[in-house]
Amino acid sequence: MHYTTMISKEVEMPTSDNEARKIKEIIDDFLTSNEAREITQRLDKEVGQNTDNQSLKDSLIMLRKLYE
């Protein structure tokens, strides 16, 4: 099997308030408030603060703040 690499232009789109609230709603179906707070803090610290992707960074901050 032959694989080819496709290079595409990355488009960074910010997460809307409604999208962030929907993500929170889904997380809340599976985790306690404390677990959700811990995971969003960790995602922001370990992923968001170490990425060059500003959209991802902003989205993780937004999500983390929903649990503060």
Residue 3's pLDDT is 47
Give the burial string for 2-11 (b: 16+ CB within 10 Å, else e): eeeeeeeeee
Banded model confidence at residue 55, pLDDT cuts 50, 70, 90: very high
Banded model confidence at residue 12, pLDDT cuts 50, 70, 90: low
Percent over 90 (pLDDT), the chain: 74
Banded model confidence at residue 14, pLDDT cuts 50, 70, 90: confident
Full-model pTM: 0.76
Tell which residue, 19, 20, 12, 21, has the closest CA to residue 55.
Answer: 12
